[in-house]
Amino acid sequence: TVRDEAQAWLLVRDCTFRHLVEMMQSEGHPLLWHMMLLPFVRAGFSPDIMKYISLLVVTAGVAVMVRYAPFHPLIKLLVCGLCTYYLPDVARSYCVVVFVLFSVAVLYSGRHEHCMLYGILLYLLTQIHLIMEGAAIALITLYLLEVLQDRGYRKDLRPCCLGAKYGLYHHQKLR
């Protein structure tokens, strides 16, 4: 609803940065969406800009998927249709899920070669919405199991897990 969308905008507008971070303890959404809104609020934009931010983020996520995902073109078309129909209309943190999850999916086959980026993406996933913590935990668990099974990847364990672990710890501490 409009009130849900306005909540993030008003928090960013009315709180100092420190108070905003403290307010995240009682908010349902972690800090990432609020931080994305911060420069626009401080620059004096209208809250209507949130729809355009959402559209931009969803478009970037769809572009990542269309460009790099190894899916059949029909699957890409269906996913694009779903994402571009619903998500840009809802100016909330959910729009960021599309970009981060598609980026994780595209990077997944090269996660061991790009473990730091993979860890950063998992960290960002934990900062979008509480539900995304479950996805991040599942992906971290799979990564850990792979590393334990194949000792050659042991060097990759630390950067990926530190980024994701920090995100989960930080989010739990804020609540």
Q: Any idea which residue has 């998992």 for tokens?
A: 122
Q: What is the pLDDT of residues 43-73, one digit of tens each?
A: 999 998 998 898 889 889 889 988 988 778 8
pLDDT value, residue 130: 80
How far, in Å, CA of 7 to CA of 55, rounded? 19
Q: Any idea which residue has 């840009």 for tokens?
A: 88
pTM recorded for the entire structure:
0.78
Yes or no: say if 103 and 109 are a contact pair by the CB < 8 Å rule.
Answer: no
Angle among Cα 8, 119, 22 to the nearest 5 degrees reads 30
